[in-house]
Structure 1
Amino acid sequence: MKKTASDGRTRERLTREAIADGAVALADAEGLEAVTIRRLAKDHGVSPMALYWHFKEKDQLLDGIAERLFTGVDLPPVSAEPWPEQLRGVLEALLAALRPHPAVAGLVTTRILTSEAGLNVAERTLSHLRQAGFSPEHAAEIGSYLLSAVVTLVTSEPGQRHGDDEEAHEDAIRVRAASLGALSPRRYPNIVASAGALAACASPDAYYSLGLDMLITGISGIATEPAKAEAEAAS
């Protein structure tokens, strides 16, 4: 495709960050499958060549989206609080950045170590896990699990809204609840009893708080043995 002078001027104005922000907004509205370089170029009123200057292929664009999500993680300052509280603060900051963008939240799982913003999140997470007494190897494994768990909380929220059609969203929840509620109560008594909660969260905030409670409680429960082992090794 022939590059025009206007493409050159637009390239100066159209930053990598602005393109990634546009991609996130498009995914929020229409889903990740709608995000293409051609579509973003059209939305920005430029030719695809103007975007290729920053992202030569879609995988690079997806990397840029993940980087923007990590940039939005407002890490709390390091404090004198016990490590479980500090670790929870990091997970809460990550959750706050991902929760508004469920369509692209899954992109961060394999991209946390590919940008400075992601590296900062990883470093803080590993630091608190090392404080808990875990070895570098175990801290890396647990840190990866925690990232995946937070992403899963976001992408699997029951009754999560997609797009701007409130009526369609409410209709979908009613259909889902009715479908589960219509199952045989003899064969599936607990699913029938929980039909409403399975179709949609009564309180999304409570749903996320419970999820973090389970993660921190679980990590705290297994932290004592590694800490004891390292203390004995050092003595």
Structure 2
Amino acid sequence: LGFYNSVGGALSDMIAHLMQPLRAISGYASAAEMLSNLRIRGVQRAQYRVGPSVLASRERPFVGEYTAQDADNELLEDTETFGVVELQFIAGDWTNVDVLIRTGKGVWPESKVLKVYGSRTDEGIEVVTFNIAEKYFQVGVEVADEQGTRIEPIMKSEEFHVRVNGGEVTTDAEEYVVIFKGLCGWWTPDPRYFPPVSEAAKVYEFFRSALVRERFSGAITTKYDAYGGCPL
């Protein structure tokens, strides 16, 4: 549960949602308990730059068509949700551990990847990759050399199918219908996955001042190309 407001915008709403998996991963009983051990290191947000080639195609990467107004201001208002939030645990079992959250609308399918890093070895850093877009998981070692960073696979699965309550999750829009069927009851969200309003309010208050400072410092801090990636 999150709050959409004119100051924090959709980014504030997304942050509230993402505190739930962070709470679950870090093992805290409530978001309020976790937030008491966190500090905000920074918040940034961005919008897509609408380039001439994109405008010429008249196709948005995600929904609808471009308008004359899009061409005039070179920005897509519906992509304002992209942002980066930097956090750090300052107390508890995770003290000094940094947290970097990148979120927003229009995350490309190849970005639907979860990487879990393990210990460092002589060969590199152990990493387990769950690639939702291409439907596989892989165990490997991330190595860095003069050619850059890459993952050397140790084991890679065949194509898998994610199932939620008997329904297959795809990389298409229908995935959200299936996911919410698994997360919600007939009349209300499942409390195991959705925090109460009081929890969401505490998350909002925790991030509010940082979002206000970021908004007044220049609102959109970075514009990025719809097909060229994001510098954040």
Larger radius of gyration: 1
Richer in strand (by share): 2
Richer in helix (by share): 1
Bigger relative CO (Cα 8 Å, ≥ 6 apart)? 2
Question: Given the two structures, how large is their TM-score scaled by the length of structure 2?
Answer: 0.23
Question: Given the two structures, how large is their TM-score scaled by the length of structure 1?
Answer: 0.22
